[in-house]
Amino acid sequence: MICSECRTVLPAFLDGELDVVRQVEVEDHLRTCDACSRIHQAQLALRSTLKSGELYFRAPVDLERKIRMAAQPAERKSMLPRPRMPAWIGASLAAAAVVALAIFVWPVLSRPSRTERIAQDVVSAHIRSLMPGHLTDVPSSEHHTVKPWFAGKLDFSPPVADLSAEGFQLVGGRLDYAADRPVAALVYRKGEHLINLFVWPSASKRQSPEAADARQGYNLLFWTRGQADFSAISDLNAAELKQFADLVRART
Ligand SMILES: [Zn+2]
């Protein structure tokens, strides 16, 4: 056995882990080699020193308790199951949110505003009234005839202005439906142009300024006055329709 070989197996020799043949070879080498024998003696001394009680200190019971207490919160924390949701639940929640958005939120967002719906109602009612036989329920140029006709048919009494002196002839009145309720429709004529003036009780107590709109070739005006909402619509030009609205406001 050569020295390098001996020093490689020395630790195993010290621990008695070599087979008998190898052990004898090492013992023979140590007897004839001073250098390896010194290393062997040093390792033996180190092992016996480590095994002696002088390098061991028993931790005080109190220290052990303190360390365990200090470590407990971290241990508990690390032992708690993490509130981590499976990926499929996350994906399902995201999908559910999209569906909820589509079902509940989008219809609300895309729903026309009340003002928009009223404007649509007014245009529809005006066009319907222009169909044969739909213009008036009470054909009369007399506001003294038209105004009483609504009594008992509506839960309010619409003001009916006589604007004949200003060139707006009363044609008559009828019941119609707009703004989610029955409304009074007063029909006026200026030359060849018909005007529908819709009147219904206002949901708002405020007097709102005039609002103008134009749809499907018709001019529209909206205003609130004296606890009633008014909407005028006609194929009259905007200036003449505004003149009509100003006259109605002045007389109501
Ligand atoms: Zn040697």
Are residues 194 and 201 in contact, defined by beta-carbon separation less than 8 angstroms?
A: no
CA–centroid distance, 12 to ligand 1, in Å, is 16
Report, as an integer, the average pLDDT of 151-177.
96
CA distance 65 to 234: 93
Distance in Å, CA 7 to ligand 1 centroid: 7
- Distance between CA atoms of residues 41 and 103, nearest Å: 87
If you average pLDDT over each of 15-19, 35-39, 113-117, which comes out highest? 35-39
In whole angstroms, what is the distance from residue 184 CA to residue 11 CA?
112
Same domain, yes or no: 46 and 63:
no
Task: Tell me: do 35 and 85 sit in the same domain.
Answer: no
Ligand 1: distance of its center to the CA of 5 in Å? Answer: 8
Average pLDDT score over residue span 66-92: 70
Residue 198 clears pLDDT 60, i.e. is over it: yes
Domain tally, the chain: 3
- pLDDT averaged over the chain? 88
From ligand 1's centre to the CA of 28, what distance in Å?
A: 10
Structure tokens at 91: 């994906």
Looking at the fold, whether 20 and 35 belong to one and the same domain comes out as: yes
Residue 30 alpha carbon to ligand 1 centre in Å: 7
Q: Do 158 and 174 fall within a single domain? A: yes
CA distance readout (Å), 64 to 68, 77, 178, 202: 6, 20, 85, 82
Query: In which domain, by residue range, is 85 found?
Result: 59-105
pLDDT tier, 54 (very low <50, low <70, confident <90, very high otherwise):
low
Report CA(136)–ligand 1 centroid distance (Å): 130
In 3-state terms the chain splits into helix, strand, coil percentages (rounded to 5) of: 50, 20, 30
Distance (angstroms) between ligand 1 centre and the Cα of 52 equals 28
Give the C-alpha separation, 112 to 124, whole Å. Answer: 15
Can you tell me the mean pLDDT for 25-36?
Answer: 94
231 & 139 share domain: yes
pLDDT band at 112 (very low <50, low <70, confident <90, very high): confident
Ligand 1 centroid to Cα of residue 20, in Å, is 19
Q: Which of 20, 21, 27 is nearest to 10 (CA)?
A: 27
Residues 168 and 73 in one domain: no
Residues 176, 224 within the same domain: yes
Is 217 in the same domain as 94?
A: no
pLDDT of residue 83: 62
- Of 67, 88, 105, the residue at which a domain comes to its end is 105
pLDDT on residue 155: 93
